[in-house]
Amino acid sequence: MNKYGAEFFGTFWLVLGGCGSAVLAAAFPEVGIGLLGVSLAFGLTVLTMAFAIGHISGCHLNPAVSIGLWAGGRFPANQLLPYIIAQVLGGLAAGGVLYLIASGQAGFDVSNGFAANGYGAHSPGQYSLTSALISEVVMTMMFLVVILGATDQRAPQGFAPIAIGLCLTLIHLISIPVTNTSVNPARSTGVALYVGDWATAQLWLFWIAPIAGAILGAFVYRFIGNEKES
C-alpha cells in the first residue's frame, strides 16, 4: 500500500503544482508567470517527487507512464490497475483542493477552463482534433523514451529525475498552445471532472492519445536500447 499511497500523493502534487500554476499564477495581473512558468511548474513537480518518492513507487504519477513502463518490460501487469486508480484519485483530490482555493476569488468561473485540456474551440490556440491527437501521441512517446533511457542501468546514475523533469518542461513549452498539454490521463481527469461539459466530453482523447504514445515510446526504446544491437 505504500507504493499506492506514494502515487496518490505524487500525482496530487503534480496536478496541484502544475494546474495550480496555470489557474492561479499564469495570468496574474502584471506579474503572471505565463507559459514558461507553467511549463517549469509541471517539470518541477515531477523533479521534486522523483527525489521524494522515486525509491518508494518509481514515481510514475501518470497512467500512461505506468502502461508504457509495462510495455517496456519495466513494470508488472498486476500492479497497473491499482497504480492507475491511485493516480486518478490523487489527481481528483488535487483538483478539489485547487477548486476550493480558486473559487475564493471574486468572479471565478470554472467554465473558463480550470487548466482543462481541449481541442478545437477549447484548444488555447484553436488547434484541431487531428493536431491535438498527433501532439499528445508524439509528446508522450518522447516522454517515455526519455524515462526509459534515463532510468536504464547503463545511464548515468542519480540524474534521471533531472532529465525527466526537464523533458516534461520541454513538452509543455511545445504543446501548451495545442492542448494545454496533457500527456497524462490523471492530470486531465483531475480537473476535467470539475469543469464538466466540454472538458469531460473531450476527455477521451486525453486518455487514448497519451496511452498510445506511451506504448509507442516503449517499443521505440526497446528497439534503440536493445543492448544486443548496440
pLDDT in tens, 126-156: 999 999 999 999 999 999 999 999 999 888 8
Please say if the pLDDT value at position 30 is more than 80.
no
* 11 in Cβ contact with 61 (< 8 Å): yes
Question: Is residue 31 very low, low, confident or very high in pLDDT (cuts 50, 70, 90)?
Answer: low
Q: pTM of this prediction?
A: 0.92
Please say if the pLDDT value at position 112 is more than 80.
no
Of 203, 169, 133, nearest to 14 (Cα)? Answer: 169
**pLDDT average, residue stretch 204-217:** 97
Give the span between the Cα atoms of 53 and 3, in whole angstroms. 9
- Taking the CB of residue 45, how many other CB atoms lie within 10 A of it? 26
Of 65, 71, 42, 51, nearest to 6 (Cα)? Answer: 51
**Residue 65 or residue 112, greater confidence:** 65
Give the span between the Cα atoms of 7 and 27, in whole angstroms. 30
Q: What angle do CA 191, 196, 197 make, to 5 degrees?
A: 140
pLDDT above 90 covers what percent of the chain? 81
Mean pLDDT of the chain: 93
Give the span between the Cα atoms of 55 and 9, in whole angstroms. 14
Distance between the two ends of the chain, CA-based, in angstroms?
38
Q: Give the CA distances from residue 159 to residues 74, 133, 147, 152, 162, in Å, rounded to whole numbers and listed in that order.
A: 18, 31, 11, 11, 6
Identify the pLDDT of residue 34.
86
